[in-house]
Structure 1
Amino acid sequence: MAAAVRKVGGRVPPARGTRPRNRRALILAAAAELFHRRGYADVGMSDIAEAVGMGPSALYRHFRSKQHLLMQVVLDGVAPVREALARSAVEDPDTVLRAVVAVTLDHREVGVLWQREGRLLPAAERAEVRREIRAVTAVVAGLIRDARPRLSPEQAELLAWCGLGVLLSPSFHRIELPRPEYVRLLVELGRAAVAAPPAELVPNARARPPAGIALRSRREALLTAAVRMFAEQGYAGVAIEDIGAAAGIAGPSVYNHFESKGDLLSAAVTRGIEWLTMDMTGALAGAADPEAALRALLEAYIRFAAEHSDLVSLLLTEVSHLPMSARHRARQAQADYLMEWAHLLCAVRPQYGTAPARIRVHAALTAINDVARTRHLRDTAGVAATLAAVAGAVLGLDPAGEPEPPLDASG
């Protein structure tokens, strides 16, 4: 057991019975690493206490509950980004950008903690975290407008979200480069994202399409409700009875369609992966060359993310709750999907090399995902064309003429 403990964050915990001055910081660091690697629902206070060499009762003297600890972990992750951005008052933007890159590489768990675990907080604490994240975004948007004064506030905000998504993208993969090369690449990608030409944006301008006519299939009703609820509340926070009630299906009748909550999650994840695979197959089948295929794939992914933002959330946050064999299949399918992107990019830009190409792909898709999962951005006319420009710049594609009309997709 001691050997396993030493692996947490690469740190050796203090000996039991000792009281290091930085114990609170050690607790936060251990909790952040465990929440990032295993997910909040699968980590107990006893696991965190063991990682820092203390008893669970002593841990509660520092944090009154696991939710309280999670809130502090998330806020603690936001703080160094805010501190780096605070230098903008006295230092040039390039120095500030490098400082933010250093933070995101030193704390690669930050993006996952903001996006995956922060939504599991109670409403009041979740609102506090959102205020902190919006404050960070506002600083970045201000820096963008200082450099590009012709942008509207809405355009600067959208580019700020995209830029932060690019810089936080290492949180969602394990691809490594030598540190100096990684810093140079992320700085380049961050600059490319915020320098992209945005389309004209009109917030909340699009009329929502009619609700349409739902399928009568009870299985589909359950699956639709499960995707929405897992995305909003997390797999561990939803009971199968709640899903049944949301779908208008009483108690035991749910089990006529799915054997368990895990079966529902597996069906939802499979649907998301198959949808992406079908979109990819269509994009490649109709393309004359790798660059045309990559552009078509990018357009298809932006459309998918806008129309199915809950499925995007599910694929990003809940795969770890699948049974081992299903989890392995899902992650392999996701890896294969991303490798197809990287293969196309290497065919278009062979000078990149495999690892940098994969990092670019992750950066572009993370920017798209962040915007798609942020409702007020997703519901803005012109956002799809802007995302295409941002992602194209991050991938290193040449501008493709005038922006295309925005895709009319609301989630």
Structure 2
Amino acid sequence: MRRRPKDRRERIAQVAAELFCEHGYHGVSLEQIASTVGISGPAVYRHFPNKYALLVEATRGLLAAALSTTDLPPGAEPRTTLKALLLTLSRLAVKHRRSGGLYQWEWRYLEPEHRAEFRADLAVLFGRLVVPLRAARPEELTVPDAEALARAALSVFGSITTHRTPITKGRAEVALHRIAVAVLRDDPPTPVVPSPAGSGLERGAVRVSSRREIVLAEAIRLFHQNGYHAVGLDEIGRAAGITASSVYRYFPGKGELLAAALYRASERVAAATAAALADAADASQALHMMADSYVTLTFERSDLVSVYLAENNNLPEIDRHELRKVQRLHVEEWVRLLTTVRPGLPVPEARVHVHAALNLVTDLSGWVRFDRRTGMDRHLVRLMVTVLMA
């Protein structure tokens, strides 16, 4: 009789984490997890009662790995501690590249109790960066300043999970470490309490001129707030002031509604890119103008951009492939400009820099107030350029 491996439970959780990140939590079945592990469906139930238990285990495992490897002995000089932490986090990010997306998006599907646990562990991880960073720059940074930069650095590490650029582990680790060091040396954005859910531009500052646009705007808001699978057409209809059946007058189904939202985001990104390229005198100016347009778009349409990045896996297949192709072309435009400005930077590393810059702005869009009167837009553009040029 063949013995079950001692690490089977850990193996099941790891495979589940990778599949959740690749296909989305709701796009993965227990049977798919079992098949990938090489066991039967009932064998999974010997270790986990349901798929949700696997999500809890996977998110706990991800942060447990981060907390265990960053639990450094106290007493070291702050800059030495920071260096060790950044090296450790760069290795950890690359090692967990296929499952680190749990930190980016999939944790949204945790229930309140487990979400609070996740956030508490994440706060501990933040603290391990904030304390030595504050100690290393005592005259320059307040605690909120240091927290903002720590969050930006973690966004850099998390960015490696958002793409599949072929690059060796060693080169990816070096690139992430280099970028994170540059971020922590930068001036911080001003952190504030996030705006209440649903107060984004789609609902308030953007005028909608037709019932179809109202339905689309409310769907984007709800998808961002609750996740695609938690939102029904009846809820979208109520938010738009119509019945669920009336939604079908404008969209054949929820999948087509999501596709319309994501095509809308793609069109806005393409228009902003085209404007930057048309008006720039050279590649360096174009890069700065694209950074400016991306910051503006992300903050003025934060709900839309978040849905665009988080809900790709829930699109109808033909739309998913089309939009991913458009995303890749957009990234390659950034890479082309960056390698023109920095001709010695290899293309794989350039892609790592570009994804880190884009991810950082998207992450910060839910945490800092975008206010042109305070110069926040200029600071974020500079921070984005810092990441690109690190």
Matched, 1:33 2:26: no
CA distance in 2, matches of 1:88, 1:110: 27
Deviations 1:295-338 (A, max 9, x none): 11101111111111111211211112222221111011111111
Q: Which residue of 2 aligns with 1:96?
A: 85
User: Is the 1:364–1:394 Cα contact (8 Å) retained in structure 2?
Assistant: yes
Matched, 1:168 2:153: no
Structure 1 gap ranges (5+): 1-15, 398-411
Q: Which of 96, 116, 126 is residue 127 of structure 1 equivalent to?
A: 116
2:353 aligned partner, one-letter code: R
CA distance in 1, matches of 2:2, 2:241: 54
Instruction: Report the secondary structure of 1:177's partner residue.
Output: coil
Written as runs of structure 1 = structure 2, the 5 A alignment for 1:73-222 is 73-87=58-72, 89=74, 92=80, 93-149=82-138, 150-198=140-188, 201=190, 203=192, 211=204, 214-222=207-215
User: Is the 1:110–1:168 Cα contact (8 Å) retained in structure 2?
Assistant: no
Q: Which of 247, 251, 254 is residue 258 of structure 1 equivalent to?
A: 251
Q: Which of 325, 343, 366 is residue 359 of structure 2 equivalent to?
A: 366
Report % sequence identity.
Answer: 34
CA distance in 1, matches of 2:257, 2:194: 35
User: Offset at 1:110?
Assistant: 4.1
Written as runs of structure 1 = structure 2, the 5 A alignment for 1:313-324 is 313-324=306-317
Instruction: Tell me how large the CA RMSD over aligned residues is.
Output: 2.4
User: Offset at 1:30?
Assistant: 1.2
CA distance in 2, matches of 1:238, 1:88: 46
CA distance in 2, matches of 1:24, 1:204: 39
Written as runs of structure 1 = structure 2, the 5 A alignment for 1:271-286 is 271-286=264-279
What's the TM-score once normalised by structure 1's chain length?
0.86
- Tell me the number of residue pairs that the alignment of Structure 1 and Structure 2 aligns: 378
User: Offset at 1:202?
Assistant: 6.6
Structure 2 gap ranges (5+): none
User: Offset at 1:120?
Assistant: 1.4
Matched, 1:43 2:28: yes
User: Is the 2:298–2:305 Cα contact (8 Å) retained in structure 1?
Assistant: yes
User: Is the 1:204–1:379 Cα contact (8 Å) retained in structure 2?
Assistant: no
User: Is the 1:111–1:169 Cα contact (8 Å) retained in structure 2?
Assistant: no
Matched, 1:72 2:57: yes
1:181 aligned partner, one-letter code: R
Instruction: Report the secondary structure of 1:230's partner residue.
Output: helix
Matched, 1:392 2:377: no
Aligned pair in 2 of structure 1 residues 144, 389: CA closer, same or farther (>3 Å)? farther
Aligned pair in 2 of structure 1 residues 289, 182: CA closer, same or farther (>3 Å)? same
